[in-house]
């Protein structure tokens, strides 16, 4: 059985029609729209106890859709808690329209369930995640369930300790394209493993994601704004140094490129990495 604190999470293959719950949350079938139009609509059912919460997502067919799906999950959880629901049926968002992969929808939902159930004000006893087809059910079972177990058993409540690396090559700074939400360009980095120093972690992450040896590095700055990472509260120590070897994207990096110092701030980045790079260029580069 899967629990977040005292709330049971059930992943079900089906549409949930046979279930009884205080509220049902699902995605509107509206077309694409402006982000400002994104909202949730609450309607009360005839029995006086069950609510339908409809998330109207302003999906635009871009990488940012994963974060719009995240906001949709967050909004319906708050709305269900607002009406005092103890049980919630949730039909996952985004993947059936093909705007984000099912794996991404599952991981984003896991992140929002963890955050809201652990830190939000609610009365949830059961949350049913209902996936209508077997193929996607297996994806949600593995990724949503596995993610929740990993975070609770390995990472704990947080804040989480992470590292990021500014890797200098002759041609410029190494950046990666993330293969998991939040999508977009970012600095190489990741979570510090138990029993690992910050320095060991950053060397490992650089090697895993870029194939480079990270040498002659120095600690630059710590970034701890609770909103810097849309998934969790992370505290990241940023290191700057040289890369040696042939760069190649691997592990959580979908792609990799080396970008000149005069061009690097023209891109949009995940997390607060644009600010990190800007701080580096203004105050820390040799």
Mean pLDDT in residue range 1-10: 95
pLDDT of residue 241: 97
Tens of pLDDT, residues 181-234? 999 999 999 999 989 999 999 999 999 999 999 999 999 999 999 999 999 999
Tens of pLDDT, residues 116-151? 999 999 999 999 999 999 999 999 999 999 999 999
How far out from the chain centre does Cα 147 lie? Answer: 11
pLDDT of residue 219: 97
Residue 150 Cα distances to 1, 8, 188, 248, 265, angstroms: 14, 16, 21, 27, 34
**Cβ-contact 55, 75 below 8 angstroms:** yes
Give domain 161-284's CATH superfamily.
Nucleoside Triphosphate Pyrophosphohydrolase (3.90.79.10)
Phi, psi for residue 252 in degrees, rounded to 5: -80, 0
Domain 2-155 has CATH 3.40.220.10: yes
State the first-to-last Cα distance of the chain, in angstroms, to the nearest integer: 53
- Band of pLDDT at residue 50, cut at 50, 70 and 90: confident
- Band of pLDDT at residue 30, cut at 50, 70 and 90: low
**Cβ-contact 252, 190 below 8 angstroms:** yes
pLDDT of residue 48: 43
Mean pLDDT in residue range 16-44: 76
- Band of pLDDT at residue 32, cut at 50, 70 and 90: very low
Mean pLDDT in residue range 242-261: 91
Least confident residue range of 88-92, 102-106, 256-260, 282-286: 282-286
Domain extents in the chain: 2-155, 161-284
Highest mean pLDDT among 34-43, 95-104, 267-276: 267-276
**Cβ-contact 79, 56 below 8 angstroms:** no
Here the tokens at position 85 are: 């629901």
Q: In degrees, to the nearest 5, what angle opens at C-alpha 181 toward C-alphas 184 and 231? A: 115
| Residue for token pair 């009365």 | 123
Percent of the chain residues topping a pLDDT of 70? 94
Here the tokens at position 96 are: 């059936």
């Amino acid at each position: 059985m899967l629990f977040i604190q005292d709330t049971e999470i059930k992943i079900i293959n089906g549409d949930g029609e046979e279930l009884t719950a205080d509220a049902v949350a699902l995605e509107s079938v509206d077309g694409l729209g402006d982000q400002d139009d994104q909202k949730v609509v609450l309607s009360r059912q005839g029995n006086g106890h069950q609510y339908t919460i409809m998330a109207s997502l302003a999906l635009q067919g871009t990488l940012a859709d994963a974060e719009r799906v995240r906001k949709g999950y967050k909004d319906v959880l708050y709305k269900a808690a607002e009406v005092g629901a103890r049980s919630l049926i949730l039909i996952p968002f985004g993947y059936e329209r093909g705007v984000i992969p099912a794996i991404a929808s599952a991981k984003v939902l896991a992140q929002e369930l963890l955050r809201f159930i652990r830190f939000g004000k609610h009365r949830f006893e059961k949350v049913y995640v209902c996936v209508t087809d077997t193929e996607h059910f297996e994806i949600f079972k593995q990724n949503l369930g596995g993610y929740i177990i990993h975070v609770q058993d390995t990472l704990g409540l947080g804040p989480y300790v992470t590292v990021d690396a500014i890797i200098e090559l002759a041609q410029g700074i190494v950046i990666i394209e993330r293969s998991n939400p939040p999508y977009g360009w970012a600095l190489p980095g990741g979570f510090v493993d138990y029993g690992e120093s910050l320095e060991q972690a950053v060397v490992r992450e650089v090697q895993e994601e870029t194939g480079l040896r990270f040498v002659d590095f120095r600690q630059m700055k710590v970034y701890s704004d609770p909103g810097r990472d849309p998934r969790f509260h992370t505290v990241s120590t940023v290191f700057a140094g040289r890369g040696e070897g042939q760069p190649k994207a691997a592990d959580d990096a979908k792609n990799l490129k080396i970008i000149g110092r005069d061009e690097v701030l023209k891109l949009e980045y995940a997390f607060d990495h644009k600010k990190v790079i800007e701080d580096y260029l203004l105050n820390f580069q040799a």
